[in-house]
Amino acid sequence: MVVPVFNEARTLATLLDRVVTAPLPAAISGLEIVAVDDSSTDGSWELLGEWTPPARGDRVEVVVTRLRHERNQGKGRALRTGFAAASGDLVLVQDADLEYTPTDYPSLIGPVLDGFADVVYGSRFLGGPHRVLFFWHYLGNRFLTLLSNMLTDLNLTDMETCYKVFRRDVLERITLVSNRFGIEPELTARVARLGSRIFEVPISYYGRTYEEGKKVGWRDGATAVWSILRFNLWDR
């Protein structure tokens, strides 16, 4: 599991506790957490160093790796650092806020363990419980997913979702270059080009307001449009 972190001191410890104690399928015997701090300035890195994983009370072994960028480079670079450091057969992306809930792990991992999928996306738009928030964010997400689908020939409902699960061999076959939020359309374009078996499952979503720490804005939407075009039409 890769957890990119940037200025999430308010939620980080709670999120990590939930990750460690989350339900896991019986086939999973180990949980590796690779937390990558992207040069936070709010004490997230210090908190990460002080945090102690809670006991699970079962046979699942928990291993934690803490990494830090000396300068801020973006979510995409943090994920690339985490992907390179992760050693598990499955790699799941988990944001450091509390918008996505680790109780969805069995649904996310299940299609891969059952042999049906190489990649699983957790969709916020397939009917799972969610906090009602911004109409224009919703519309923007749907537009970006539609544009991505037109160029990848996929029928995803939520390309921009945080929750993505990859078989390790899939990640080993692609070369990622995005440093910031362009990582989401890049990942989608590259796994689609591989012909990977991609599944979607409904997830819960507890979105934040900007006052509560949400970071994505309209500039990130413009970057996503450029990245969709770039990684589907030119940088192949």
Q: What is the pLDDT of residues 95-139, one digit of tens each?
A: 999 999 999 999 999 999 999 999 999 999 997 656 555 576 778
Would you say residue 146 lies in a domain?
A: no
Name the burial class of residue 155, with classes exposed (0-12), middle (13-18) and buried (19+) by CB atoms within 10 angstroms of its CB: exposed
Would you say residue 13 lies in a domain?
A: yes
Specify the CATH number for the domain of residue 26. 3.90.550.10
Would you say residue 140 lies in a domain?
A: no
Would you say residue 167 lies in a domain?
A: yes
Q: How many domains does the chain have?
A: 1
Would you say residue 138 lies in a domain?
A: no
Q: Which of 104-113, 136-145, 221-230 has the highest average model confidence (pLDDT)? A: 104-113
Domain extent at residue 74: 2-132+160-180+195-213
Two tokens at 17? Answer: 């506790």
Would you say residue 200 lies in a domain?
A: yes
Name the burial class of residue 119, with classes exposed (0-12), middle (13-18) and buried (19+) by CB atoms within 10 angstroms of its CB: buried
The arithmetic mean of pLDDT across residues 135-149, rounded, is 86
